[in-house]
Amino acid sequence: MQIRPILAALRRHRMATVLIALEIALACAVLCNACFLIAGRIDAIQVDSGVDEASLATVQLAGYENAHAVDLNARVLAGLGSIAGVQSVSLLNSIPFGARRGTAGITTDMAGKHFGGVVEFYVGGPGSLSALGTRLVAGRNPQPDDFRPFTALMPDDASVQVTRALAEHLWPGADPLGKEFWLDKSHFRVVGVIDHLVRPDPGGWPGDSRDWSVFVPAQSSVYLSGSYLLRAAPTDLPRVLRDARAAIAKIAPDAVLDQDGTQTLGDLRTRSFQKDRAMIGMLVGVIVALLLVTALGIVGLASFWVAQRRRQIGIRRAIGATRRDILHYFQTENFLIVSFGIVLGMVLAYALNLLLMTHYELPRLPLVYLPIGAAALWLLGQLAVLGPALRAAAVPPVVATRSV
């Protein structure tokens, strides 16, 4: 199949060719970026929290007097701990997929000149890290002497556990045990490394930064109150949480139960990624609609050209062209148009990605999405042109020549 006659025919129909190529270019640009966004949302939804989600729930209280916070903690811990099926109940300021209460920037020097990043501080009482079910990969878990009193928002000096991702970020390639960092005047020394402990809002953080977490052991205080971590067997957890909701009115009549915040971790995870799922659905709808419009444009143009070229098709058949030759002609013609559109579309894809990076702080589009988009549009083009091409190949020479 020679390309020159096909290019000559396309030059005679320059306007229609350019319009279809532009439509394909727009489809390529949107397809690549939409697939990139979908992949990012799916990655966020499937994030490894690092905790035993099926066994955990949280109880959140508000409306109590700060002066009674320590007493409230004692009553709630004792009362919830007496519910049948409760394996443990402990104080924890935040929980994965719940409210964010410990986000702060840290430095790796006392003078505060070397910024280490914005991390999540999980501040918990005795038993809370064990209840979460995190996996220790180096060092040790908190010991009784590690639970220090608060002096402000944090203990002045604390032995902490950090995630593997945060340790690698702060001290790449080095042993993090014994390393130090600071939050204003609060000093922290790393005594343990845990595999994963995701932030409460992982969807809002890119890549490994969603796992930049620190566990700080602390004693009960006004700064660590009203937020409780329940652990129970997965089969008992829904019933345990219902009993806990009912018991709070008697255990803590001076506090108000936060109904939205008092949930199992599974429910919190579902709610946390609700917007991401909606976004995925919207983007899939956009992709389907755009590909459908593009396919209809290709079908319409190919059908128009088949109707216009019945005489030429008949002549080619009469001088020996086979049905396969006619079919390959239209497929090759479509391939050239789609290829031109894809080349332009790749440039548009990066331009659109730069726009999204500027206004929405999205990461750069990886190159791998370009061949994926190109392959999808090449396949779409060949499928869309197949019907008109088969009709062209079925035109018998006699009928075509009689229509002159």
Tell me the C-alpha distance between 357 and 373, whole Å: 20
Out of 106-120, 194-208, 317-331, least confident range: 317-331
Instruction: Say if residue 87's pLDDT is above 90.
Output: yes
Instruction: Please check whether residue 28 is in contact with residue 345, taking contact to mean a CB–CB distance below 8 angstroms.
Output: yes
pLDDT digits (tens, 9 = 90+) for 195-241: 999 999 998 888 889 999 999 999 988 888 999 999 999 999 999 99
Q: Which residue has the tokens 């345990």?
A: 240
Q: What is the pLDDT of residue 319?
A: 79
Report whether pLDDT(167) > 70.
yes
Instruction: Give the pairing of strands 157-163 and 213-217.
Output: antiparallel
Which run of H or E residues covers position 287?
helix 274-308
Identify the pLDDT of residue 404: 44
Name all contacts of 266-269 with Cβ < 8 Å and 24+ positions apart: 266/53, 266/54, 268/58, 268/95, 268/96, 268/97, 268/98, 269/49, 269/53, 269/96, 269/97
Looking at residue 197, its amino acid is L
Q: Are 23 and 341 in contact (CB under 8 A)?
A: yes
Residue 370 has pLDDT above 60, yes or no: yes
CB atoms within 10 A of CB 143: 10
Answer whether 0.95 is exceeded by the pTM. Answer: no
pLDDT at 361: 67
Spatial distance between the Cα atoms of 190 and 176, rounded to a whole number of angstroms: 7
Region of 87 on the Ramachandran plot (φ > 0 left; ψ -120 to 50 alpha; else beta): alpha
Task: Tell me what the pLDDT averaged over the chain comes to.
Answer: 89
Instruction: Please list, in sequence order, all residues whose beta carbon lies within 8 angstroms of the beta carbon of residue 97, skipping any fewer than 6 positions away.
Output: 49, 200, 201, 202, 265, 268, 269, 271, 272
Please, are residues 66 and 239 in contact by the beta-carbon 8 Å criterion? no
